[in-house]
Amino acid sequence: MITTYDSPAETMTAVTDGWYNRLAASLNLSIRHFQLLQPPGVPVSDQALWDCFNVVPPATLKYNRWYYQQPTFFSQYAAVVNGLSFPESAFVEDIGADTYAQWQAYLKTLSPPPPANTLPTVWFQWAMVNAPSVANIGRSDLATQLLISGAQAALEPYEGPNAKPADFFPSFSDLKNTLRASPGTSFFFDSTDDDPDVSNSWVPGDDPNYFGIWTGSSAAFLVSRKFASSKITVSIQFDHFAVVTVTPGQWYNSSLLHQAWASQSTPPWIDSSDWQTYFGDSGSLTHAVGSILAADGITLTLTSDADFTPMEQTLIKGLAAIGDWPAYCPVASSAISNTITTAPGSTTIQFKSSPGIPVVLGLNVFDIRSYVGAG
């Protein structure tokens, strides 16, 4: 039975939530992490692909990229790294001034001086004999200094006027190769048998901030309400599909981000209030993309028994090029096509993407606690 709601926008919400659940169930996607990307990404280069997932995704099941203006993951990570410091004065305070003077005297006896990355171990071996009560905290302090300085050095080539682009895995060619070796699938959606209940998903509740029947349209438009209240069927065919892990490039240090998340104190933060700025409930780095859902050779054949007027039919046909439900993918190149045929009491929309052309349909989103490996 078709699910209906009192609010005009909620009618569209219900059918889209039903589509979300059908897609997740058919492709074995976890509703604890999966997020629809609206419109999907159709990258043609490394940078275009990375732009799809170099983002701090909003807490929503449908990431409407026209509505949500999200910061990049790289920008927020870089801000965190540059907001950390472990000054020598903090090390002196933790181990004591006398012990620090003895440690500095000992270092001067070593020739050649030990490399920076060995200092935590050299300290610990010395301190276990000469200052055992502060051996552990001193080693931890030196390791934190090393971690921060190393992460900041790794970032330097990606910042400033001649910055390198923030790279990720997969590259565009990697994604194409992965899809080429992946299986295909087909499944079917019927709104008369949909399940719009998303209360057990990672973002339960109503989320109306997405499109109506075509890209950019309101869910409350009369034509969208007619569409969402009709019997809708979608036949889906993917030549290939895959869930592909997203891994930041050499600029990223997972241990450093874990350290920043795990400690709210000064140090390692230069300003302790910055922890809330990034990781608090309303912070700017509360979620991250762990993997993407991509497919190629997509064919979606949608039918609706909505009784659209001739004027509404003309409007829908005229706007087909900017994308329609459920993919909302604009016809930006010859790789994408949208074909609409209408008749009294019947509308058929066919969306097709070319074989071998990746389409990023969604993201698997993790809260920052899970992303940094803290559970």
List, for residues 293-313, the tens digit of each pLDDT value: 999 999 999 999 999 999 999
Domain boundary among 133, 158, 183: 158
Instruction: Assess whether 195 and 323 both reside in one domain.
Output: yes
Helix intervals (H) in the chain: 8-26, 46-53, 73-82, 88-95, 97-108, 119-130, 135-155, 172-180, 222-229, 254-262, 274-279, 310-318, 368-371
Residue 265: closest CA among 276, 281, 253? 276
Report CA dihedral (366, 368, 373, 374) to the nearest 10 degrees.
-120
In a domain, 265, yes or no: no
User: According to the model, what pLDDT value does residue 5 have?
Assistant: 40
With tokens 């330097």, the residue in question is 156
Q: How far is CA 120 from the centre of its chain?
A: 35
Residues 18 and 152 in one domain: no
**Is the same domain home to 187 and 232?**
yes
Q: How many domains does the chain have?
A: 2
Last residue of a domain, one of 158, 178, 213: 158
Predicted local distance difference test score (pLDDT) of residue 154:
97
Q: pLDDT at position 373, please?
A: 92
Pairing of strands 34-41, 359-367: antiparallel
Neighbouring residues of 294: CB distance < 8 A, sequence distance ≥ 6 = 175, 178, 179, 241, 242, 244, 358, 359, 360, 361
| 246 in the same domain as 129 | no
In a domain, 276, yes or no: no
CA distance 73 to 285: 8
Dist. CA 24–CA 68, nearest whole Å = 22
Do 111 and 188 belong to one domain?
Answer: no
- Closest C-alpha to 363, from 297, 284, 287: 287
Query: Residue 3: its pLDDT value, please?
Result: 37
DSSP collapsed to 3 states, 278-316 = HHCCCCCCCEEEEEEEEEEEEEEEEEECCCCCHHHHHHH
Q: What is the sign of the dihedral through the CA atoms of 91, 92, 95 and 101?
A: positive
In a domain, 224, yes or no: yes
> Could you tell me the mean pLDDT of each successive run of 10 residues in the chain, 375 residues long?
46 92 97 96 96 96 90 98 97 98 97 96 98 98 97 96 96 98 98 91 77 89 92 98 98 97 95 96 97 98 94 91 92 88 90 96 97 88
The pLDDT value recorded for residue 7 is 53
- Claim to verify: residue 211 and residue 243 sit in the same structural domain: yes
Query: Would 261 be classed as within a structural domain?
Result: no
Question: In angstroms, rounded to a whole number, what is the distance separating the alpha carbons of residues 38 and 42?
Answer: 11
For residues 126 and 235, membership in a common domain is answered with: no
Tokens found for residue 60: 């929503």
Say if residue 301 is in the same domain as residue 222: yes
Residues 176 and 198 in one domain: yes
Let me know: does 285 contact 356? Beta carbons within 8 Å: no
In the prediction, which pLDDT does 344 show?
Answer: 83
> Do the domain assignments include residue 227?
yes
**Checking DSSP bridges between strand 232-245 and strand 62-64, what pairing results, if any?**
unpaired
Dihedral over Cα of 327, 333, 337, 338: its sign? positive
Residue 11 is predicted with a pLDDT of 85
Q: Which domain holds residue 51?
A: 8-72+167-252+294-371
Residues 88 and 142 in one domain: yes
